[in-house]
Amino acid sequence: MKRFFNYLRSMRFGVLLLALIGVCSVIGTVIPQGREIAWYAQNYRSFHGVILLLHLNKIFSSWYFVALLVLLCLNLSLCSLLRLRTVVKGKKTEREAAAAMPNQRILSGEGFALLRSRMESMHAREENKDGVTLWSKNGFGRYGTFITHLSILLTVVFGALALYTPTVEDHDIMPGETLTLSDGTTVYVDSFRLTDETGRLDYESMASITLPDGRSSGLVPLRVNHPVSLGPWKLYQQSFGTAGSITVTDLSTGGTDEFLLTDMSFLTADGRSGLWYDVLYPDYLRDPSGEVTLITLTEGSYPNPIYQVRVIAEGVNTPTLAVPGDTLEVLGLRFTFNSPVEYPGIRFKHVSRLVNGLLVAAFTLMIAGLYLTFFCEPVLVKADAKGYAVGGPRPERLRIELEDQLADYTIESEKE
């Protein structure tokens, strides 16, 4: 049992956990997360079953990733608590041990004065007791490793809060339109494309975010696995859709309106006559006899779209098919069928400012811990009437420096 406990708090186990978390993070970056099952079946045909079986489509909420985070927190907690106990106990024993250390060198009177001057230049604290002088400095440096371990633990905990506690909203935004979120943040989508210049699928929106305080991201590209962040919001390219586009012209006044349609809709002026929009199909086939076969599934954009609508006039319901460029007139209204409009589905993730602040504080604490560890080495120097000795957790460098500086004032080694 003791061996198991020692392994739980060991550095080897901590490094193993960090490596496994890193592997999961890479997988979660390479494989888009949170898509529909059909999307993985279409894009990872050969091994989509493995992705779904191992929950690689939602790896950051999988049981094994959460278990790794919990084990890492346990490892860091044990390391931090044991290290703090060791530091607190060692601080007193180190001073007692330093005062009782045998002298490494015997100094002349001038050597002792030079040693005191050297310690004063280092701003070391001086204590005198029973004929022994003890200089100490950077005692808080002993807490450097403890603070570093603690900051890593806090980073993991606050990072988990940032991962699992944000509110998530999904919105479809048509190009050229602006969405206002609950806190007053506005998101404008300038354009959306499905493919890049080479024809490869590469969903990209050009969007801008403006916070209530006036801060703006300007127009920035938003792509899959390349989110955009501003303030408490993070935006992800989540999905896409295709909307039918119909322009309605009032023949009596010449006024026009364009409607982007994603659901069944009735376009009418009097509530009785007009155009009933059913659905937009991505493609169709027409045989020599003129019979039309509608194609319901396609990959990417709609290559040959066709509208299925119903003309409703004077109580008569007439099913009709129309392609972009066609027009229909119904009791003073002209309906013009345009090319479909592709639009993005964007996921909005709102992270609490408090959590963000805690993460910043944890990183700041980590920097402080690393600084204490590497640049604030504790100093303990003991001197009495016979000579001096250097103690502390890492005394080698200071011992060598003092030997060089006091070489001309050393009478002999006490052992001699």
What element of type H or E holds 116? helix 109-121
Instruction: State the pLDDT at residue 412.
Output: 56
Please check whether residues 331 and 351 belong to one and the same domain: no
Say what the pTM is: 0.59
- Within a domain: residue 89? no
Strands (E) located in 140-291: 167-172, 178-180, 186-195, 201-210, 220-223, 228-230, 233-250, 256-261, 265-268, 274-281, 283-286
Query: In degrees to the nearest 10, what's the CA dihedral of 351, 354, 360, 361?
Result: -160
Q: Is residue 22 part of a domain?
A: no
Q: How would you write 23-92 as a 3-class SS string?
A: HHHHHHHHCCCCCCHHHHHHHCCCCHHHHHHCCHHHHHHCHHHHHHHHHHHHHHHHHHHHHHHHHHHHHH
Contact of 99 with 133, CB cutoff 8 Å: no
Structure tokens, 58: 């939602």
For the range 219-223, what are the long-range contacts, defined as Cβ-Cβ under 8 Å and sequence gap of 24 or more?
219/190, 222/344, 222/346
Is 33 inside any structural domain? Answer: no
Consecutive H or E run containing 308: strand 306-313
Query: Are residues 353 and 361 in contact, defined by beta-carbon separation less than 8 angstroms?
Result: no
Say yes or no: 235 and 350 in one domain: yes
Location of structure tokens 């009478």: 411
Distances (CA, A) of 150 to 317, 374, 377: 72, 16, 19
Q: How many CA atoms lie within 13 A of 285 on its CB side?
A: 6
Residues 256, 125 within the same domain: no
- Cβ atoms < 10 Å from Cβ of 200: 8
In the prediction, which pLDDT does 406 show? 83
Whether residue 123 lies inside any domain: the answer is: yes
396 and 351 in a single domain? The answer is no
**Domain, as residue range, for 412:** 101-138+377-416
Q: Which residue, 407, 416, 415, 413, is CA-closest to 115?
A: 407
CB 122 within 8 Å of CB 63: no
pLDDT score for 239: 84
Give the integer Cα–Cα distance in Å for 201 and 239. Answer: 13
Amino acid of residue 94 = E
**CB within 8 A of 224, min separation 6: which ones?**
32, 202, 203, 236, 237
Shared domain check, 337 and 246: yes
262 and 301 fall within a common domain: yes
Please provide residue 387's backbone torsions phi and psi, each rounded to the nearest 5 degrees: 170, -155
Residue by residue, DSSP assigns 365-401 as: HHHHHHHHHHH---EEEEE-SS-EEEESSS-HHHHHH
Residue 406 lies inside a defined structural domain of this protein: yes
Q: 304, 312, 305, 339: which is closest to 328 by C-alpha?
A: 312
- In a shared domain, residues 219 and 255: no
Residue indicated by tokens 């003991």: 382
At residue 87, the pLDDT reads 67
Q: What is the pLDDT of residue 88?
A: 66
Domain tally for the chain? 3
Do 212 and 263 share a domain, yes or no? no
212 and 280, same domain (yes or no): no
Amino acid found at 315: G
Tell me, yes or no, whether 307 lies in a domain.
yes
Residue at 285 is within a domain: yes
Q: Does a structural domain hold residue 199?
A: yes
Regarding whether 294 and 227 lie in a shared domain, the answer is: no
Assign residue 397 the CATH number of its domain.
3.30.310.10
How far is residue 136's CA from residue 376's CA, in Å, rounded to a whole number? 12
Each residue's pLDDT, cut to its tens digit, for the chain (416 residues) gives: 778 877 887 888 888 998 999 999 899 888 888 777 877 887 888 888 888 889 998 898 899 998 998 998 888 888 777 767 766 666 556 666 666 778 778 888 788 888 888 888 888 888 888 888 888 888 788 788 888 888 988 998 898 888 888 888 899 999 999 999 988 999 999 999 887 777 777 789 999 999 999 999 999 999 877 889 888 898 988 888 899 999 999 998 989 999 999 999 999 988 889 999 999 999 999 888 888 889 887 666 788 999 999 999 888 899 999 999 999 999 899 999 999 999 999 999 888 888 888 999 999 999 999 998 888 888 888 888 778 888 776 777 788 888 888 888 777 544 44
Q: Could you tell me if 254 and 226 lie in one domain?
A: no
Assess whether 171 and 131 both reside in one domain.
Answer: no
